Every structure is written in C-alpha cells, then in structure tokens.
Amino acid sequence: MEIRDAVEADAGRLADLADSPPDVMRNLVHDRTVRVATEADEVVGFVSYDAKQGTVHVTQLAGSQAVCERLLAEPITFAEREHMAVELLVTADESEVETAVEATGFTQSGPGPEFAGESTVRYRLEPAEKASGER
C-alpha cells in the first residue's frame, strides 16, 4: 500500500468512497490536507484533516479497517510533531472505521453532533507527553 497526497483527479474515486458528489470532493482536496491510500494504482481509502486551536481534526476517513489504520498514521504523525491532540467523529454505521480508530489508540470522549439524523461518537488522541503526564 502506498500513501500519497490527493490530487484533483482523485475526486471521482473519493466521491465513490465517501458517497459524496465529486465537486464536494474536489473542494476537499483544495481546502484540506488529503492523503490517499493506493494499491495497484487504485485509490482504496483516504483521510482528510486540518488543524486549528491546538487540535488536528480528522474530517473524513474511508477505507477498510487496515487501510484506515494506515491512513490515521498521517494526521497522528503531524499532530505529534506539532504537540497537538487529534479528534474525529464516527457514526454508528462505520464499524470498520471505529475499529481502526480504537486500534490506533483513540479513546471515546463523549457524544458528537448529529449529522443527517445520525448520532456520532467523538474520539480523541492526546499527544504522547500530555497523555503520560510529562512536560
């Protein structure tokens, strides 16, 4: 599996993975950090994220459990370098994503907002030195 930056030409495949319109995904590629996982030159998953107010926010994550685990390393590595926490929301119908999130060290930090009538769970990963009490 290879990980690379997303390009505008990936928008159609990202739209398929996220069940979103291609123009929305084109905007995502331009507005956020988006990394894609490829196998045999086919996009098999992606993660998008941005950083603000001391936290890296994962805005979308798609792919199999293994792909999601590998993709989560991207925002986690960025957050560790910047000494930031990482947060994301998972809906109830995303069991593979939820399993990947928990396998990479995130913990539930409470309920998240509803999206299109679906409830979400907020997950958070604290920076290593903050989590261990070091400063």
Sorting pLDDT into bands at 50, 70 and 90, what band is 92?
Answer: confident
- What is the average pLDDT across 37-47? 97
Q: What's the CA angle centered on 109, arms 107 and 110, to 5 degrees?
A: 135
C-alpha 6/C-alpha 19 separation (Å) is 17
- CATH code assigned at 35: 3.40.630.30
User: Which structural domain, as residue segments, surrounds residue 34?
Assistant: 2-131
Query: What is the tally of structural domains in the chain?
Result: 1
Give pLDDT tens digits for 49-80. Answer: 999 999 999 999 999 999 999 999 999 999 99
Q: Identity (one letter) of the amino acid at 65? A: Q
Say whether pLDDT at 110 is over 50: yes
Pull the structure tokens for residue 5. Answer: 């930056």
C-alpha 19/C-alpha 35 separation (Å) is 17
Q: What's the pLDDT at 129?
A: 55
Residue in 32, 101, 27 with CA at minimum distance from that of residue 62: 101
Average pLDDT of the chain, as a whole number: 92
